């Protein structure tokens, strides 16, 4: 049968509680159907509609929608003129594409350590890694919670380099009461299905810098300034109209999703409070947490506990194995004590917005059982 999977390609049995599940339904289907019936699948009106809604929600002057979050990062570096031999400071505790996108433009990622409470860039360590070649600092809003934007911006100003936000996980998150994404030179968000809102694949850049937004639009569409007039080297990084239409509906769900997740986080943290050897997620006083991830620290027996949860059908994970330890970055291996310590104890529980109270209770119960039985 054409297209059928052979048994060795079959996906693994689904988890009883999987890591990600999106909140989408009839409205998204209807929006996508309208696009298909409109006859315009790309370069149409839905993309600017989505961009304007996204920019408004994140208090940014501009939003530029692209095919995925990784390309959004590459585009930000290129639009800043970062390239061959330049250095870009990034955390290692992130999804690998924060760093691979630096390599894609010919620059070198310089890994910095993180703060052990917020899991975001340690400002003092970033300062130590600045050199004459440093061309940008990229803060990752880990799990959606913002990094220390004000101190990092101060440091970036001192070093005369842009601060860039990898807000891939941080839709709707705030820092000092204002949305992240444009509290820097530029920020980016991802819409892959593990994030709080999704378009299947997709990304967006937010910025208050009009010239930067213009360069990104050119990069996205073959550097075309007029039909078949290619004024700069560009790419095809466009988001489709189907994705943009879905994105606009998803964005309208964002606040309800965040409300549910914050309520679930507060329930979970009450439920797990006092569990020996477990550190619960901490929300910094000047930020709020959108809980794309609910990440705990398990002191002695993380691997055992993670294994128990997986056996119980709960898709718990280490988010993320440090990037600087990946084979592709073997050449620049440095030690990052906090990141490496965290990588031994971090555990992210399934925490998508569709979890029921009974499922949360099941996760808490199995976690408690695993901790009680753990060898250490």
Ligand X SMILES: *Cc1c(COP(=O)(O)O)cnc(C)c1O
Binding site for ligand X (CB under 6 A): 68-70, 94-95, 97-98, 140, 166, 168-169, 190, 192, 203
- Axis crossing angle, helix 69-79 with helix 210-220, rounded to the nearest 10: 120
CB of 121 to ligand X, least distance (A): 12
In the bound state with ligand X, the residue whose beta carbon lies nearer, of 182 and 370, is 182
In the bound state with ligand X, the residue whose beta carbon lies nearer, of 168 and 216, is 168
CA 81-82-83 angle, to 5 degrees, is 110
What is the C-alpha separation between 83 and 77, in angstroms, rounded?
A: 8
In the bound state with ligand X, the residue whose beta carbon lies nearer, of 69 and 75, is 69
In the bound state with ligand X, the residue whose beta carbon lies nearer, of 172 and 272, is 172
Q: Which residue is nearest to ligand X (CB)?
A: 69
CB of 64 to ligand X, least distance (A): 14
In the bound state with ligand X, the residue whose beta carbon lies nearer, of 50 and 95, is 95
Measure CA 294 to chain center.
Answer: 13
CB of 332 to ligand X, least distance (A): 19
CB of 74 to ligand X, least distance (A): 10
In the bound state with ligand X, the residue whose beta carbon lies nearer, of 140 and 371, is 140
CB of 119 to ligand X, least distance (A): 11
Asked whether 288 and 174 are in contact (CB, 8 A), the reply is: yes
All residues at 6 or more sequence positions from 149 whose CB lies less than 8 Å from its CB, including other chains = 139, 163, 165, 175, 176, 180, 183, 184
CB of 146 to ligand X, least distance (A): 13
- For the chain, the straight-line distance linking the first and the last C-alpha, in angstroms and rounded, comes to 51
Question: Distance of CA 332 to CAs 166, 176, 219, 320, Å?
Answer: 22, 35, 30, 19
């Amino acid at each position: 049968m054409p297209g059928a999977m052979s048994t060795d390609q079959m996906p693994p049995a689904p988890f009883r509680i999987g890591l990600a599940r999106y909140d989408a339904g009839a409205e998204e289907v209807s929006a996508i159907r309208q696009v298909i019936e409109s006859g315009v699948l790309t370069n149409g009106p839905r993309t600017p509609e989505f961009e304007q809604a996204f920019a408004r929600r994140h208090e940014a002057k501009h939003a530029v929608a692209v095919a995925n979050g990784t390309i959004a990062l590459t585009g930000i570096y290129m639009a800043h003129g970062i390239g061959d031999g330049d250095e870009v400071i990034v955390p290692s505790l992130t999804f690998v594409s924060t760093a691979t996108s630096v390599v894609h433009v010919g620059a070198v990622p310089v890994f910095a350590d993180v703060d052990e409470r917020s899991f975001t860039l340690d400002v003092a360590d970033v300062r130590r890694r600045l050199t004459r070649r440093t061309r940008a600092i990229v803060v990752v809003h880990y799990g959606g919670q913002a990094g220390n934007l004000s101190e990092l911006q101060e440091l970036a100003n001192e070093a005369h380099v842009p601060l860039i936000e990898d807000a891939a996980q941080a839709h709707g998150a705030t820092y000092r009461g204002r949305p992240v994404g444009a509290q820097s030179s530029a920020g980016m968000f991802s819409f892959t299905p593990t994030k709080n809102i999704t378009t299947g694949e997709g990304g967006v850049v937010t910025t208050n810098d009009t010239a930067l937004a213009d360069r990104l639009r050119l990069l996205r569409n073959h550097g075309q300034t007029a039909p078949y007039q290619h004024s700069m080297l560009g790419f095809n990084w466009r988001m489709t109209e189907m994705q943009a239409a879905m994105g606009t509906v998803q964005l309208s769900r964002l606040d309800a999703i965040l409300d549910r997740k914050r309520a679930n986080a507060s329930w979970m943290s009450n439920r797990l409070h006092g569990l020996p050897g477990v550190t619960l997620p901490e929300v910094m006083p000047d930020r709020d947490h959108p809980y794309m991830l609910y990440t705990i620290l398990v002191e002695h027996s993380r691997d055992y506990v993670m294994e128990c949860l997986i056996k119980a059908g709960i898709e718990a994970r280490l988010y993320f194995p440090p990037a600087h330890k990946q084979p592709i970055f073997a050449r620049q291996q440095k030690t990052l004590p906090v990141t490496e310590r965290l990588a031994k104890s971090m555990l992210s529980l399934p925490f998508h917005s569709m979890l029921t109270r009974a499922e949360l209770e099941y996760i808490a119960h199995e976690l408690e059982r695993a901790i009680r039985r753990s060898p250490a």
